[in-house]
Structures are given as C-alpha cells and as structure tokens.
C-alpha cells in the first residue's frame, strides 16, 4: 500500500475506512513500515457483498493483501471492529503476526451497546443520513470535544458525518452485533497492546478493559479521547502504535 520496512496491517472500524480511521497517522506509519490495509465491503472502492460479513473472511482478506505485498510476517493495528478482525487474523495465522495493537476494542457487546448498534444499523438502512449523523456524533466524540464545537463547527461535523457514511455501514454494524471473540483472546501469543479510549461513549471502557484482561501478558495504555482517537489525539495514538510495534520487534529471541 505505502511505505517500506516491516509489515504493518491496518484494520478499520465499522462505518469507516483505512483512510478515514488511519489517515492522520499514515505519514508517520509509512515512514517506518510497509503499511497495508483493506477497506471492508461497501467502503471506498470495495463493493458490497450479498452475504453477511464474517470476521474470518475479513481477516483472511487482510492477510491476503499482505501476501500480495510479499510480507511473510507483520504487525496488525486494529481499531474498533478492526480489533476483532485483527484478533481473528492472529488466531488464524499466529506464526505470521509479530505484534497486535487493539484500540477501542470489544470482544462482545453489553446490552446498552447492542441496543445502540441496532439503532445505528437501522438508521443506516433507512438512509436518513441527517438523523444518523445526529445520533452518531455524540457517541463518537468525547463529551468535552463535542461541547467545544462552535455552532459552525458542529454543523460542519454533522454534514461531514452524513456525507461520508459508507454504503456498507449497515453490513459492518450487523457484524458488530454478531461479534464474539472471547474464546480467541486467551489463545493469542503475539505481544499485544490494548489502548482504551477512556472518554468513549460508543464502546464503554469497561468492555475495552475486558479485552485486555483476557489476553495473556497484554500491555495496556489509555487515551483520554472519545471513540475517534484519530480526530482527538492522532499524535499520541500514532506514538503508542509505533512504540509498541518497535518494542515487540526487539523483544528477547527476536532479531534487532
């Protein structure tokens, strides 16, 4: 995709894309890594599918993209739904994954989050983009970031949210409602960093911390942002990702 160096795969969130979720970090990531990402069906140039999405399929498509770039091993950075994709890729190809970074992760949904996802999916199907944007923005931003918006900035954010929602959003969110990687987490062997977005109104920090607690030896970090670290603190998010991948590459028993 871009850059040179050790492989780094990117798995984006529901209703997002590689560019939307990782774009603000891309210059720094590609300065040290061969970065590869795949947009899910219904996002960017990837057409929608007629069958329900599965984690296995998305994980295998991501690894296939690494194969196409000639990458035998790679780290994976997953965000939101992409954390479940990253976890599944690591369980299906454990010998190839050198490190995992899971930001705003969930292994399962609690009742509140499931109800929220069902409304999100329904609004996406209805194509009522204005209501969808007004529903999502308060969930996506931290309370402080939302309150700091001027009336003009709020109107712009709502318009951009409405205009950029991918056609496949409902399919992505449907997969969110079916995701359960709790059985995968204890089997992970790659060095893992779990980044909790502590002001997250969409994926509760308690669900994120459940993920960290279930992964043997997982390291943890916190970002005082809402669900969009790329919008609220991309510099620190990028630093956490690259520092962990670098640290994993020089752990005992690996080449420096």
Task: Provide mean pLDDT across the span 165-172.
Answer: 96
Q: Label residue 184 by pLDDT band (50, 70, 90).
A: very high
Q: Coil, strand or helix: which one is 196?
A: strand
Q: What pLDDT, on a 0 to 100 scale, did the predictor assign at position 255?
A: 37
For residues 52 and 128, give the distance between their C-alpha atoms in angstroms, rounded to a whole number.
Answer: 22
> Other CB atoms closer than 10 Å to residue 7's CB: what's the count?
22
Query: For 214-227, what is the mean pLDDT?
Result: 98
Name the average pLDDT for the chain. Answer: 95
Flag the least confident range among 38-47, 112-121, 245-254.
245-254
pLDDT digits (tens, 9 = 90+) for 34-93: 999 999 999 988 999 989 999 999 999 999 999 999 999 999 999 999 999 999 999 999
Neighbours of 150 (CB within 10 A): 8
Rounded to two decimals, the pTM is: 0.94
pLDDT band of 251, cuts 50, 70, 90:
low
Fill in the DSSP letter of residue 132: H
Please name the residue ranges forming H helices in the chain.
Answer: 18-22, 26-30, 55-68, 81-92, 111-126, 129-140, 143-148, 151-164, 169-178, 205-214, 229-232, 234-249
**pLDDT score at 169:** 96
* DSSP-based three-state secondary structure for 24: helix
Evaluate if residue 99 carries a pLDDT over 50: yes
What pLDDT, on a 0 to 100 scale, did the predictor assign at position 2?
A: 82
């Amino acid at each position: 995709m871009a850059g040179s160096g050790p492989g780094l795969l990117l798995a984006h969130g529901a209703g997002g894309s590689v560019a939307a979720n990782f774009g603000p970090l891309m210059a720094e990531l590609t300065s040290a890594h061969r970065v590869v990402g795949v947009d899910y069906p219904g996002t960017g140039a990837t057409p929608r599918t007629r069958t329900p999405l599965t984690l296995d399929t998305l994980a295998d498509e991501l690894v296939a993209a690494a194969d196409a770039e000639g990458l035998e091993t790679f780290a994976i950075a997953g965000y939101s739904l992409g954390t479940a994709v990253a976890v599944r890729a690591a369980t299906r190809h454990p010998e190839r994954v050198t490190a995992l970074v899971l930001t705003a992760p969930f292994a399962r949904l609690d009742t509140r989050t499931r109800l929220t996802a069902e409304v999100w999916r329904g609004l996406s199907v209805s194509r009522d983009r204005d209501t969808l944007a007004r529903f999502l923005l308060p969930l996506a931003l931290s309370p402080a970031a939302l309150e700091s918006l001027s009336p003009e900035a709020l109107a712009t954010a709502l318009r951009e949210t409405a205009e950029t929602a991918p056609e496949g959003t409902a399919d992505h969110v449907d997969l969110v409602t079916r995701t359960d990687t709790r059985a995968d987490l204890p089997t992970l062997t790659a060095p893992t960093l779990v980044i909790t977005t502590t002001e997250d109104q969409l994926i509760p920090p308690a669900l994120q911390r459940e993920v960290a607690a279930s992964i043997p030896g997982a390291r943890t970090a916190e970002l005082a942002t809402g669900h969009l670290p790329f919008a609220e603190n991309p510099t620190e998010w990028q630093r956490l990702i690259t520092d962990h991948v670098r640290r994993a590459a020089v752990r005992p028993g690996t080449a420096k």
